[in-house]
Amino acid sequence: MSKRPTIADIASQAGVSTGAVSYALNGRPGVSAATRDRILAIAKEIGWHPSVAARSMAGSRVNAVGLILARPARVLGMEPFFMQFISGVESVLSANRTALLLQLVPDHDAADEAVRFWWAERRIDGVLVMDLWADDQRPALLAELGVPAVIVGRPRKGLDLPAVWSDDAAAIDSVVDYLVTIGHRRIARVAGLPSLEHTQIRTAAFQAAAERHKLDSAPVVSTDYTWEEGAQATRRLLTSADRPTAITYDNDLMAVAALSVAHELSISVPDQLSIVAGDDSQLCLVQHPSITALARDIVDYGARTAQAMLDLVADGRTGVHQTPTATLIPRASTAAAP
Amino acid sequence: MSKRPTIADIASQAGVSTGAVSYALNGRPGVSAATRDRILAIAKEIGWHPSVAARSMAGSRVNAVGLILARPARVLGMEPFFMQFISGVESVLSANRTALLLQLVPDHDAADEAVRFWWAERRIDGVLVMDLWADDQRPALLAELGVPAVIVGRPRKGLDLPAVWSDDAAAIDSVVDYLVTIGHRRIARVAGLPSLEHTQIRTAAFQAAAERHKLDSAPVVSTDYTWEEGAQATRRLLTSADRPTAITYDNDLMAVAALSVAHELSISVPDQLSIVAGDDSQLCLVQHPSITALARDIVDYGARTAQAMLDLVADGRTGVHQTPTATLIPRASTAAAP
DNA sequence: CTGAAAGCGCTTACAG
DNA sequence: CTGAAAGCGCTTACAG
């Protein structure tokens, strides 16, 4: 509870003005090298840390970045993606002494309101925007408010926001190509939330690939990512007239649920049905059969996103960063078509 | 990008001093009801939001709470617990216009350093401390620094920190009682990280229950919560001379891995082996057989923790809050002993 | 290269 | 019940 050291303390010890201390501490011109070294030594010795509040008030950055997630808790909890992504974000932010403000909100309106508040209260230097949906208002809102933002997803036309993305369409192509190569002609897709932009990108890619390969059937069913809807979609597909011989899923929990449904219907995996998960996690490995999945380095994805954010707020650098495309890891849940 | 309104703007519009505005806005005595209403109306009309930085500098709270998680990303990602807990925390914090700072760190030293920085920079009003380990230095460090903190776990002796906890020992008792009731005499426990306090509490409870029921065997194996170690522990137990007829796990991922191992060893679940998961999530439902698990309302647990934090920083209220004990949900993975 | 001073937007004793 | 003023800890033109 002892009083925190301030630049005034450093200034008096060093026998200079607080202005000089500020220049020295921030590595700006205006002090001699000798003075700078002396100031830095004193700052370190007395354990000085900048007050974010004071810096913020003086108009400088607050060294904090916001991340708002608009998904229900039970879905977030079951998607290892988010924690891994956050972990990657954190690794870069904390190395740069920048805090992460996290907010989980129930819907889009709450997400917008959260950004407005954070910005109005000057809590953040910028926000990371993920899970974009079609006609998402957020990029426009952020531009209007003047909030620096990094888009996690496909770059927006007309807005000069930096974006970090991964080629989902190419990943989907690789899955369809693989299944076709081992003889499948009836392939289904169990998609995530249809309102999300990346769901739409994947569905479009899936349909284009089906067209290209002239598949016999290529139905798409939408879900909310929960195992219930994944299981229900699978049940519907497997009891339909034109039963698919392979199904791809937009996450791994639904692929696991599919294993259960196949078991329940006495359909053998992979002999009679091949299953592919759209995300890879330990879950896919623990099943029997283990599940073929699209894998990518999500921690790295988060780290790149955080770096793009820092580049943006530190020196206004924008740009589009493409991260490696997910690669297919074949496991025991896929085999030649029956 | 237009200039944000300040209390000076409100003051000039209302024809009063900024001091009066401050009193009115904070609901403190010093202004007449009429003036207060006028001020509040103007504030609302011009879209005023307090500057957290200014409030912080003036010595008031910053309306932010920190949460530091010291587990590897791949473990965090596979534990639905954390996101659900965070979601509960968030629901209470955001209703009180309080931000959550989240930091994921690799180890205990990094966790300590993170608290020091946050506090030194005046970024937070307090921290939530979870995953306490035996001889955890954090409560002492926090007391020394004077950081308000809420312990998620067993209350600490000698330190007057509020704690929110759940009776893990009673939950373990209920599991052992249940298994004994259906005839099991050789019950094993696959525990999480042995350094964590709640692991130790559970192990002690397990051993006491084994003693009480005079079990034939009650081995305990420690793991790091990953499916690899869970599978390895299971393999070791199932190939030992005194093979258990029931195994309880400290999370659900390991219980799922156990299903795989049993399958690999041609041991039928639940006929020859009963399996109980220490956490409940959708994962337990999606398996076949579905997994018997200890369930509790984790979102509520997070919410209560956040409330305890607000009570502490708002009016210094401390105290111990016990949350409901986890209850056993019997499913298809447990049956009478062979 | 350095010093003195204003200003960021609040809160809070202290007078009136 | 209200006003005037100091202070929180920085940054940044502006003089010297």
pLDDT digits 0-9 by tens, A13-33: 888 888 888 888 888 887 888
Name the CATH superfamily, with its identifier, for domain A168-295: Response regulator (3.40.50.2300)
Asked whether the beta carbons of residue A53 and residue B49 sit closer than 8 angstroms, the reply is no
Nearest CA in chain A to B48: A120
Q: Which residues touch strand C (CB under 7 A)?
A: A 15-20, 23, 29-33, 35, 54, 57-59; B 3-8, 18-19, 21-23, 25-26, 28, 48-51, 53-55, 57-60
Which of A278-287, A329-338, B310-319 has the lowest average pLDDT? B310-319
pLDDT value of residue A14: 86
CATH 1.10.260.40 maps onto chain A at: 7-50
Closest nucleotide to B20: CA versus each C1': D2
Partner A contacted by B59 (CB < 8 A): no
The mean predicted confidence, pLDDT, of chain A is 92
Closest Cβ–Cβ partner in A49, A117, A122 for B53: A122
Element (H, E) at B247: strand B246-249
Residues 6+ apart with CB under 8 A from A79: A225, A251, A253, A279
Partner B contacted by A141 (CB < 8 A): no
Element (H, E) at B320: strand B320-323
Distance in Å, alpha carbon of B286 to nearest chain A alpha carbon: 5
Nearest CA in chain A to B102: A100
pLDDT value of residue A1: 36
CATH of B7-50, one of 1.10.150.120, 1.10.260.40, 3.40.50.300, 3.20.20.70: 1.10.260.40
Q: What is the mean pLDDT of residues A312-336?
A: 93
Closest nucleotide to A6: CA versus each C1': D9
Q: What is the mean pLDDT of residues A60-69?
A: 89
Q: What is the mean pLDDT of residues A153-178?
A: 92
**Most distant pair of Cα atoms in chain B: their distance:** 87
Considering the segment(s) B64-166+298-324 as one domain, its CATH architecture is 3-Layer(aba) Sandwich (3.40)
Alpha helices in A184-297 (DSSP H): 197-212, 227-238, 252-264, 282-286
CATH 3.40.50.2300 maps onto chain B at: 64-166+298-324, 168-295
Q: Would you call the peptide bond into A148 cis, given omega within 30 degrees of 0 as the criterion?
A: no
Residue B153 — very low, low, confident or very high, per pLDDT cuts 50/70/90? very high
Residue A3 — very low, low, confident or very high, per pLDDT cuts 50/70/90? low
Convert the pLDDT of each residue in A228-274 to its tens digit: 999 999 999 999 999 999 999 999 999 999 999 999 999 999 999 99
Say if residue A37's pLDDT is above 90.
Answer: no
Closest Cβ–Cβ partner in A84, A103, A253 for B90: A103
The 3-state DSSP composition of chain B as helix, strand, coil percent (nearest 5) reads: 45, 15, 40
Which of A191-200, A243-252, B4-13, B198-207 has the lowest average pLDDT? B4-13
pLDDT value of residue A120: 83
Say if residue A2's pLDDT is above 80.
Answer: no
Residue B144 — very low, low, confident or very high, per pLDDT cuts 50/70/90? confident
Say if residue A324's pLDDT is above 80.
Answer: yes
Partner B contacted by A70 (CB < 8 A): no
Please give the protein residue whose CA is closest to the C1' of the nucleotide D3.
B17
Q: What is the mean pLDDT of residues A149-176?
A: 92
How many angstroms separate the CA of A303 from the C1' of D7? 41
Q: Are B197 and B205 in contact (CB under 8 A)?
A: no
